[in-house]
Amino acid sequence: MSQQREAILVTEDSQAITGLRARLSLWNHVQFFFRKKPLGAVGAVMALFVVVVAIFAPAIQTRDVNLTDHTKLYATPSGEMFLGGDHLGRDMFSRLVAGSRISIRVGLISALVGCTFGLIVGVSSAYYGGIYDLILQRIIDSVIAFPGLVLALALMAALGSSINNVIIALSISFMPTTVRLIRSQALAVKEMDYVLAANAVGASSARIIFRHMIPNVFAIWIVTFTFLMGTAIIAEASLSFLGLGVGPDVPSWGGMLRGATKNYVGIGPWLPVVPGMAIFAVVFSWNILGDSLRDVLDPRLRGTQ
């Protein structure tokens, strides 16, 4: 009985040590990234800040986002309204904070779905090759022929204006580019010795794809995801600015820009500046984060740092 208990304690200690080593290893990687790429670290902090704001937006908002007040039309920034009021007397600060939820939600889900499906399709295309790869790549070529925003506009015109439809449209428009990028990397991984050895011992296709190929192209997936986050935020703002994004009653940064038409800029010049600077800061943070991750994760670039 005592031997069994000692064995259990030894197992628990081993698991605790393994977990501690994993946490230390992760922290060491974070420290290395912050030390090697300070600009990327700034981008990571900015991106994390916006995500936290989006999560706790209801607690940060000071007023109802759709509450109109005719006494606050074009109100200048003050202690009551930190960023002033818009052309309907709505609080710009509260709408800016609420709009961060739309941008992060659309960007995160659409980039995640588009990149994940692109990862699976791209790796399978490289692995199986033959007629499957030929037909699939011709389909990808035909879709890539359309600019991403034009394709998203066409899909939104067919689906209608809503947050879910924006996510669907952007996810579909992101898939072709991701498939092409992942496939090019997977073709090189396919010829590696460990993949050839797995084929030689009779490993199943699913095991080779999910156990050997996908983990070795995951670095480019991470970089692509960060870049597409910024692209998705710009695309959502563009769709909302054109009136094809979220509904008019939903606060979004693109919708705020759309409301700040030339008829109101002379009266309230801060109306387009506030959401415009928010879009710029968020997209900039994700782009420099993705650029820094590419430099760190790409083995071809490590020697040049």
Per-position DSSP letters for 113-181, written without gaps between them: HHHHHHHHHHHHHHHH-HHHHHHHHHHHHHHHTS-HHHHHHHHHHHH-SSHHHHHHHHHHHHHHHHHHH
My answer on whether 252 and 224 are in the same domain is yes
pLDDT of residue 152: 84
**Helix ranges (DSSP H) in the chain:** 2-36, 38-55, 57-60, 92-128, 130-144, 148-159, 163-190, 193-200, 205-207, 218-241, 253-259, 262-265, 270-297, 299-302
Asked if 32 and 96 sit in the same domain, the reply is: no
Statement to judge: residues 63 and 16 lie in one domain: no
Residue among 88, 39, 85, 34 nearest 62 (CA): 85
**Which two structure tokens, joined as six digits, stand for 66?**
């759709």
Tell whether 44 and 138 lie within a shared domain.
yes
**Does 134 share its domain with 5?**
no
Give the model's pLDDT for residue 32: 67
Residue 130 sits in the same domain as residue 202? yes
pTM exceeds 0.85 for this model: no
User: Rounded to whole angstroms, what are the CA distances from 85 to 79, 249, 276, 281?
Assistant: 12, 16, 16, 21
> In this predicted structure, what is the pLDDT of residue 85?
79
Total domains in the fold of the chain: 2
Amino acid symbol at 258: R
Residue 43: per-residue pLDDT: 84
Which range of residues forms the domain containing residue 15? 1-36
**Which 3 state secondary structure label does DSSP give 91?**
strand
C-beta neighbour count of 176 within 10 angstroms: 24
21 plus 44 within the same structural domain: no
CA distances from 279 to 256, 272, 285 (A): 11, 11, 10
| Burial class (CB within 10 angstroms; exposed 0-12, middle 13-18, buried 19+) of 38 | exposed
Report d(CA 295, CA 289) in Å as an integer.
10
If asked whether residues 32 and 45 sit together in one domain, one would say: no
Q: What is the pLDDT of residue 112?
A: 92
pLDDT digits 0-9 by tens, 248-293: 677 888 877 776 665 566 677 777 888 888 888 888 888 888 888 7
Residues 45, 19 share a domain: no
Q: 229 pairs with which residues across the strands?
A: none
78: phi then psi, degrees, rounded to nearest 5 = -155, -175
Asked if 6 and 118 sit in the same domain, the reply is no
User: What is the amino acid identity at position 224?
Assistant: T
CA dist 82 and 29 (Å) reads 39
Tell me: do 116 and 264 sit in the same domain: yes
Q: Name the stretches of the chain with pLDDT < 70.
A: 1-30, 32-34, 248, 259-266, 297-305
Please give the angle made by the CA atoms of 158, 286 and 273, to the nearest 5 degrees: 75
CATH code, domain with 280: 1.10.3720.10
Q: Kindly state whether residues 100 and 179 are assigned to the same domain.
A: yes
